[in-house]
Structure 1
Amino acid sequence: MPKLPGSVARLRAAVTGALADLPRGSLVLVACSGGPDSLALADTLEFCAPRMGLKAGLVTVDHGLQEGSAERAAEVTAWAEEAGLVPAEAVTVTVAGSGGPEAAAREARYAALDRAAEQYGAAAVLLGHTRDDQAETVLLALTRGAGPRGIAGMRPVRGRYRRPLLDVSRDDAHAACAERGLKPWADPHNSDPRFRRSALRQAMGVLTETLGGDIVANLARTASLVGADTDHLDAIADAALADCAEGPALSIAALEALSEPVRRRVLRAWIFQLGVNGADLNHHHVEALDALVVAWHGQGPTSLPGGVKVCRKDGRLSADRPG
């Protein structure tokens, strides 16, 4: 029997490990653009799922942002049907959200994947982000001055979404496509410097040449280490939020008793309870709320995205929401 290529073996091991906790008979969907990373993941899922007693399907999202996108989506679903992935569906979305074209496309894509998962009763949706993507995410967070949550990067599991390839290199995904005879699509946006992620990939290439190939693995490991610490602090903050709550408001005295990292996490979690969209939130909003607690000098309400206003009154932080 011929030896299994290392790249294929590593992908299969990663997918098997990522799905080991799912009950037999569960449906797993893979989000596939047709690019090398997601195509290699879809092919790997098609191999692993039946051997684990799982069902495998595919969803490809047509953002309608490039010429020929509908034809490419049709090609991906045709490949999926031939490979035995059921369901195999192409979903067309309208990209019209806030935060720039990349953020708007991401928002539309996840909404479509959520709908598909609910429609088919999927236990999990797989995403094809690799270790290289994780390293780029950490570097981008650093350039933005993000805190630990940003540096923690993408999580292996978040809700129904799973990223089996975060410990697998992009080179392995590309090599697996070649070994398996797959014909991935090359997204021109990936080499277009007008897009931040594409420009970052070029910068990462320069850093790798200058500092050595270990930089990708080191950045990805940083995300894992910071992510563990962040999860721990978030758990503490969740408990503290309940202790600080006075009805819909927060007690100033209880907030003042918390350490800064926990207090700011409590405020952030409370903001989300108020219905503020996380995509519109930035560190300035949290800092302004924190100032109402620890740097109070009679300042007026703090305005949050969505028209929410928070004021300090009678020893509490209270929110006024539209409607």
Structure 2
Amino acid sequence: MQVTLDPVFLDRFRAALGKLLIAKDDRVLCAVSGGPDSLALLLLAQQLIPDKLVAATVDHQLRPESGDEARYVQNICRALGVPHLILTPDEAICGNIQSSARAARYALLDRAADAESCRHIATAHHADDQLETMLMRLARGSGVDGLSAIRARNGRVIRPLLGFPKSELVDICARADIRPMDDPSNTNADFDRVAMRIWLAAAQHPFAADRAARSASALAEASDALVWMADMLAAERIRRESGSLVCDFSNIPKELKRRLLIRCLLELDPNLTPRGEAIERLLVDLTSGRTTTIGNIKCMGGRYWQFSDAPPRRN
């Protein structure tokens, strides 16, 4: 199959990919579901890194037609000359379907990337996804980290399409004469993202995907700067004393206190998942010099805040 893409799209994709690959010869596993977003990602990547590209489709086996859809993508990849894998979960997906499917999907992609010696996994998140994510997190009251939304790089996962709106990805598929698949879950308003997407399409609002992408990028830089500062403060101010962690929280802004507090808690219990409200209450208690517990950790306020394993509770 011979495909000719708009040089403007290719130049933008080349620039985005160049910022994300650690080395020019890195192999990339491209996640392709069969929708217009991932097919456009496949087409762009096939044009620029054909010898370093492997495609993979995760068949979650949640719908009867999912196997046929995976094979449809496989046929497209065969026509493009791109090696393709169909991945299926080891166990049936249950519980919270979206969350469980996502966890299974990334686990399968991670395993396949290792097997294929791919340094990166490319996914097709785009500018419209970024806008939806920012608004969803704003509605939940997220802070700087949450509002930085979808990162262009998260570990080995890269997202080179964040600068592309959905309309351009649909256009890429149309010009290549490739028909994307329709996933019915993308129209199920029971899912928060779909509900936000429907609202954005129907409402008169000032939000634009390109401006949201710029805001997300600025917030990501601010988040990285806070992480950098917290790293420096942690090295200077956190110490171990007789099985406890002791930290000097004096004369630093509240946001950095919050980050150091979370570091101390996770140092003692990596499985602890404190929510924002719980951290806020703990900050108030410790600032007031009180002693309290969170999970199995005893927290003592005062000049220096101390954290240790809480004694067993009495029946």
Q: Is this a same-fold pair by TM over 0.5?
A: yes
The aligned amino acid for 2:59 is D
Corresponding residue number in structure 1 for 2:44: 44
**Contact 2:121/2:156, CA 8 A, preserved across alignment:** yes
The one of 270, 295, 302 equivalent to 1:275 is: 270
How far 1:153 moved relative to its partner?
A: 0.6
Q: 1:249 to 1:179 in 2, by over 3 A?
A: farther
- Does structure 1 residue 262 correspond to structure 2 residue 256? yes
Partner residue of 1:68 out of 60, 65, 69: 65
The reply to whether residue 199 of structure 1 matches residue 192 of structure 2 is no
Residue in 2 aligned with 1:159? 155
Shift, 1:288, TM fit: 4.1
1:197 deviates by 0.8
Instruction: Write out aligned runs for 1:160-309 (5 A).
Output: 160-207=156-203, 210-212=204-206, 215-247=208-240, 249-252=244-247, 254-273=248-267, 274-276=269-271, 281-299=274-292, 301-303=293-295, 309=296
CA distance in 1, matches of 2:112, 2:142: 32
Instruction: Answer yes or no: is 1:30 the counterpart of 2:30.
Output: yes
Aligned-pair Cα RMSD in Å: 2.5
What CA distance in whole angstroms lies between the structure 2 residues aligned with 1:270 and 1:119? 36
- Within the candidate set 123, 126, 133, 1:130 is matched to 126
- Gaps in structure 1 of 5+ consecutive residues: 304-308
Q: Which residue identity lines up with residue 310 of structure 1 in the other structure?
A: I
- Is 1:316 aligned to 2:310, yes or no? no
Q: Structure 2: which 5+ runs fail to align?
A: none
Separation (CA, whole Å) in 1 of partners of 2:53 and 2:309 = 45
Deviation at 1:96, TM superposition (A): 4.5
| Offset, 1:320 | 5.9
Deviations 1:250-302 (A, max 9, x none): 324x124432111212233444443226xx55212422443453133233x11
- State the Cα distance separating 1:206 from its structure 2 match: 2.8
Provide the TM-score with structure 1 as the length reference: 0.84
- Answer yes or no: is 1:82 the counterpart of 2:72: no
Conserved? CA contact 1:18–1:162, under 8 Å: no
Q: Which residue identity is paired with 1:48?
A: L
- Distance change (3 Å), C-alpha of 1:111 and 1:171: same
SS at match of 1:255: coil
Opposite residue 261 of structure 1, the aligned amino acid is E
Task: Give 1:30's aligned amino acid.
Answer: C
- Residue identity (%): 28
Shift of 1:218: 2.3
Q: Aligned partner of 1:187: which letter?
A: D
Q: Aligned AA for 1:219?
A: A
Indicate the residue corresponding to 2:52 in structure 1: 55
Superposed CA deviations along residues 104-162 of structure 1, whole A, max 9, x for unmatched, are 22111111111112222212111101100000000000111111111111111121111
- Choose the corresponding residue for 2:143, options 130, 147, 168: 147
Q: Is the 8 A contact 2:60 2:93 kept in 1?
A: no
